[in-house]
Structure 1
Amino acid sequence: MSANILLSKPGKTANGTVNLTGSKSECNRALVIEALSNGKVKVQNVSDAADAVTLSKVLSYKLQVAGDTEEPTTHNTQLTTVNIGPAGTAMRFLTAYYTLQPEEVILTGSARMKQRPIGILVDALRELGAEIDYVENEGFPPIHIKGNLEQKTNSVSIKGSISSQYITALLLIAAKLPQGLDLHIDGDLTSRPYVEMTLAMLEQAGIKHNWEGNVISIAHQEFKETALPVEPDWSAASYWFSIAALADEAELFLTGLTAYSLQGDSVITEIMANFGITSQFKDGGVLLKKEAKPISKKLFDLKKCPDLAQTVIVVCAALGHEATFTGLETLKIKETDRVAALQNELAKMGVKLIEDNETYTLDCGGKFIPERMFIKTYDDHRMAMAFAPLALLIPELEIEDAQVVEKSYPAFWTDLEKVGFKVEAP
């Protein structure tokens, strides 16, 4: 389904059961841990998100080479090109991963990936002793990585406000470094729950850590034999909370989700409570219900959950709720410049997202509901899914490049059909 789709929703109710795919964030971490453990760790419930599928394919060769031995038995000196397409997490994690492998690779990706910065991570890895060169533009993929890192130091610093994926990439390889790693985080830490997720999953795989102040320390140590189960994706769940918030009546059951999650995006339950959505955990999932409630919360700090930003901002815009948002610093270096993309698309319904330094405010004074609206997705899966719930309000909602959702939630359109949305060719 690579073409555009026309989305509509007869009636303004949403009822049904949804089975979500495994978390892309958890799965990508688990896959790297599995590869680094040389088979000791086994991933369960691998996500069918395109990013996870891509990473799994890249790493599967290494698993076959490594077998159950501590070190790979095949030393491949041939220069290999690894193209991970638009998979940003894979780019960051593999940049660190390949510094430990006995081979040279060119790591590249899509045109947009070549515009997404990697310099902060490369600088930290170089300080550790990695040999990494830029193939085209300084600070951006593609990069040439020479493996067999010879560690020069066990202490590096990295900015905490740019991307938690840089920090996670370093933490994932820390235990395999001969001297271990003391990682100093400079300044505020963006998306802290994602770093906590990484450390919790490493702990499940036998890797201990110490976190004092702004320093995370992981000694050289071995992985243990274990299984890493991947839970359903709370980021994917957020779109169903959005649907419930925009419906007149809603009762949606999302299977597999628990109240105690490693995923920071599980905070969507608290955020959407402001819009009258109750979350009841029972029967192996969570039941969402819509209750009439005036919206009073005016300030949303999304620093710890930036992947929820589009979802929450679109809901506020659709309801005419002139809220203010902070913690959006990382949005401009995602799959697209998400701030600009939101501004462009919200303008089509008369809503302005006004930027003032690092604070963003919705102006809904000119808001209107068009009979038909075209949503450009900018090669960004979250743009498609964040705007899709508007079909509850807009009779005909055309969404560009429907296939873009495969990056994190391939069954999204099918699941919408199961709860009464119409998905057609425009």
Structure 2
Amino acid sequence: MTNQIILKKSNAILENCNLNISGSKSISQRALIIQFLNSHYLELNNLSDSNDTKTLSEILKEIKKKNKINVGQGGTTFRFLVPLLSLIDKEFQIDGHSTLNSRPFLGLVNALKQFGVKFKFFSQNSHFPFKIHGGEMVSKLVTIESDKTSQFVSGLLLIGPYIKGGLKLKLNTKTVSLSYIEMTIQMMRICGANVSYDKKLIFVKEGGYSSIIKNIESDWTSLSYIYECIAISNKAEITVSSFRYPSLQKDSDIILFFNFLGVSTKFNNDSIIIKKISNSLPILIEWDVLNNPDLMPTYLVSCFALGVNLKLKGIESLAYKESNRLQSVKSNLEKFNAKIRINNNLLILDSSNSLFVEKEIDTYSDHRIALAFSPLVIKTKSLKINHPHVVEKSYPKYWNHLNKMGIEVFFQK
């Protein structure tokens, strides 16, 4: 396995090219759960090529034959899979990568226990490995935490139509990534589920799904790194497919954010033409990432590279990602002389004293760190990324796409 790559870019002009980004990881994971519950086995078009999605797809194909399951590094995978397994009167043993032990899970366990689902943890509570034994789930009002991740809510919602009497869900805390809950509800409704949603209360009627999401739109979060490259460049025009707008994905907000950074977006059927049009930049951008926290590293690195100050709120959930993403971004950006303050769920970036020289980027086993920091090579001319394989979790073709845009990629042993 390659432990490091070296990126090189001699100038700030990107090669014009066409890129094809695979399906949204978020939509793909939800679509696979709905497809399984609906017993519908048609192939889904443009399914995400991320490792997380491949893992979930393979598990679902073998679920009736196996009782031992390994979810790898997939946080979404196991949070969607555990509610699904709760419907099955069978004992399963679940294992996963040690990094998942630092990700929130106990809130989902406590909610499922209210339905009578049995858990047995072999070591520390809510840590891998563990056993789960489900069965028929009967309707009741369940209160669930939603302040660290929205995936507890989405995981339960997806199985709601298969709970006897339906699902009644109460959100008892400030909800992060609300847009992902709304994505789940919208997809469920498209597939025939009856869902009522009123602020802190969600009701799902029993009745199953009548159809599936067959065509998956491409991943806007992955596209954000292409926008970032274009924003940091002096000249670029990249065509990317296949995307639609409006989108189920809240991360399509990147259109507006990067417009402030001199990047235009033009739709042409299912393709997007993204172009650098201006070097006139604001002094400060104030933004809220509560509903799309995965974009935080992209926004922060983009603004720093362009000398734009940034004030971000809605950062509450970022300590609970693949790494403590707030600290991971902060420690790497400080290598380039960034000044970052984090307090009271507010992050303030001072980009006024940047120093663009070759550095090593520590990824902390976090794909978003590798993805968001790589475009900095347009400023530094050379950049080292440690443990570059982490991008396979969500965007396996990333290094190939950077190469197509004129960024040289050298894999080191």
Query: SS of the residue aligned with 1:262?
Result: coil
Deviations 1:91-136 (A, max 9, x none): 1011111111131112221111122120011111111221123222
Aligned to 2:407: 421
User: What count of residue pairs does the alignment treat as equivalent?
Assistant: 410
How far apart in 2 are the matches of 1:231 and 1:103?
A: 34
Structure 1 residues 115 and 160: CA distance shift in structure 2, 3 A = closer
Aligned AA for 2:115?
L
Aligned AA for 1:299?
E
Q: CA deviation at 1:231?
A: 0.9
Q: CA deviation at 1:282?
A: 1.2
Aligned to 2:143: 157
Q: CA deviation at 1:361?
A: 0.7
Unpaired runs of 5+ in structure 2? Answer: none
TM-score norm. by structure 2 comes to: 0.95
> Within the alignment, does 1:287 sit opposite 2:273 as a pair?
yes
Aligned to 1:50: 51
How far apart in 2 are the matches of 1:133 and 1:273?
A: 50
Structure 1 residues 107 and 307: CA distance shift in structure 2, 3 A = same
Aligned to 1:208: 194
Aligned to 2:118: 131
CA contact (8 A) 2:104 2:148 kept: no
Aligned to 1:347: 334
CA contact (8 A) 1:132 1:146 kept: yes
Q: CA deviation at 1:226?
A: 4.1
Aligned AA for 1:35?
F
> Within the alignment, does 1:190 sit opposite 2:176 as a pair?
yes
How far apart in 2 are the matches of 1:143 and 1:329?
A: 28
How far apart in 1 are the matches of 2:12 and 2:352?
A: 24
Decide which of 140, 144, 158 is 1:172's aligned counterpart: 158
Aligned AA for 2:108?
L
Aligned to 2:220: 234
- Aligned Cα root-mean-square deviation (Å): 1.7
Q: CA deviation at 1:218?
A: 0.4
Deviations 1:260-305 (A, max 9, x none): 1101111111111110111111142111111222224431110111
Deviations 1:341-388 (A, max 9, x none): 111101110113211121111133542111x11111111111111001
Query: SS of the residue aligned with 2:214?
Result: strand
Structure 1 residues 296 and 322: CA distance shift in structure 2, 3 A = closer
Structure 1 residues 141 and 353: CA distance shift in structure 2, 3 A = farther
Aligned to 1:307: 294
TM-score norm. by structure 1 comes to: 0.92
Aligned AA for 1:197?
M
Q: CA deviation at 1:44?
A: 2.5
Aligned to 1:20: 21
CA contact (8 A) 1:332 1:338 kept: yes
CA contact (8 A) 2:187 2:213 kept: no
Q: CA deviation at 1:240?
A: 0.6
Decide which of 347, 356, 378 is 2:343's aligned counterpart: 356
Decide which of 93, 106, 117 is 2:80's aligned counterpart: 93
Aligned AA for 2:339?
K
Q: CA deviation at 1:25?
A: 0.6
Aligned to 2:38: 37
Aligned AA for 2:59?
V
How far apart in 2 are the matches of 1:42 and 1:212?
A: 34
Decide which of 316, 322, 340 is 1:329's aligned counterpart: 316
Q: Which moved more, 1:93-102 or 1:384-393?
A: 93-102
Q: CA deviation at 1:251?
A: 0.8
Unpaired runs of 5+ in structure 1? Answer: 66-75
Deviations 1:178-235 (A, max 9, x none): 1211111123321111111111111222112111231111011022144521111001
How far apart in 1 are the matches of 2:70 and 2:340?
A: 35
Query: SS of the residue aligned with 1:31?
Result: helix
How far apart in 1 are the matches of 2:2 and 2:192?
A: 42
Aligned AA for 2:13?
T
How far apart in 2 are the matches of 1:269 and 1:150?
A: 42
Deviations 1:122-154 (A, max 9, x none): 111111221123222123333321121443x42
CA contact (8 A) 1:349 1:367 kept: yes
Structure 1 residues 92 and 227: CA distance shift in structure 2, 3 A = closer
The structure 1 segments of at least 4 consecutive aligned residues displaced by more than 6 Å after TM superposition are none
CA contact (8 A) 1:108 1:114 kept: no
CA contact (8 A) 1:4 1:402 kept: yes
How far apart in 2 are the matches of 1:101 and 1:394?
A: 53
Aligned to 1:61: 62
Query: SS of the residue aligned with 2:73?
Result: coil
CA contact (8 A) 2:360 2:386 kept: yes
Aligned AA for 2:12?
K
Q: CA deviation at 1:17?
A: 1.3
Identity rate, percent: 31
Deviations 1:68-87 (A, max 9, x none): xxxxxxxx7x8x33111111
How far apart in 2 are the matches of 1:210 and 1:164?
A: 17
